[in-house]
Structures are given as structure tokens and as C-alpha cells.
Amino acid sequence: MFGPGTERATITFQKSAGLGPNGLGLVGSKTRKALRLALKAKSQPAPSTPAPTPKPSSPPATASGAPTLRIGDGGKPVKVWQRRLNRSRRVARIVVDGQFGPRTHLATVTFQKSVGLGPQGLGVVGPKTRGAMKRVLRRL
């Protein structure tokens, strides 16, 4: 049954995926595609990643002090990453909303592949991805 709670959850997901404003609350081909991408990303953690633990209020920091970012994360570190993705000119522009949803995930994977990273860790922003981004932005 598709009741009010399901509709609210659908709209919340659609907004986090950068969908809308047309069609919010309706599950069409774009929403199904975004759901498949989100589910695929969640079901394929990087092999070196330990078993999932409850998410803290902010992503954990790496040795460099920068947080590791992945789908589901949010906040200022994600906004900074989204701006860098847009400045890199290696991905289609994305909305800077501070939500690491399916579109940010896809842009991250696209960027990583464009600089020769992967297949391990695709979609996760860690030290190697940040280093590659710094090199790309230095050349602009």
C-alpha cells in the first residue's frame, strides 16, 4: 500500500537524488533508476571497508583529517566535495545540496574512473580520490 508515509519517504528520496520538482511522490523510471543505483551502492562496500557501524553525526575523518564520504552522508564536507566535482569539469554538473545521494555518487564514480581509480573503492571519497581531485584542480 502506498500511503502518506510511503509518499513522504519517496519524496525525501527523490529530493536527495536530485529529482523533481515535477513528479515528486510518483515512482517513475527516473526514481526507479535512482533507487537501483542507491541500492547497488549500498550493497557493494569497498572490500577494505570494515563491517558497517552506526553512522555518527558526521563522517569519520581519515588520517589527513578529511572525512571519508559515501552515499548517505551529508553536511558541509559533502558540499565541499560537490563543489570540487563541479569545478573539475570531468562530470556533469550536480546540485550542491550537502547530500551524498545517487547523483553525487554517480558523479564521484565518473570522476574516479576519469582519473584511473577503481574498481575498489569506487563511489567512496577517501585519500586517493581527494589526492586525484587536488591534482586535477591544480591544472585548471
Q: How confident is the model at residue 56 (pLDDT cuts 50, 70, 90)?
A: very low
Give CA–CA dist 140/138, Å, rounded.
6
- Tell me the per-residue pLDDT of 92-121, one tens digit each, with 9 for 90 and over: 999 999 999 999 999 999 999 999 998 889
Give CA–CA dist 68/118, Å, rounded.
16
In the chain, where the domains are located: 4-45+59-138
Instruction: Say if CB 104 and CB 81 are below 8 A apart.
Output: yes
Report the pLDDT value the prediction gives residue 49, as an integer from 0 to 100.
Answer: 47
Q: Any bridge partners for residue 99, and if so which?
A: 74
Full-model pTM: 0.59
Give CATH superfamily name and number for 4-45+59-138. PGBD-like superfamily/PGBD (1.10.101.10)
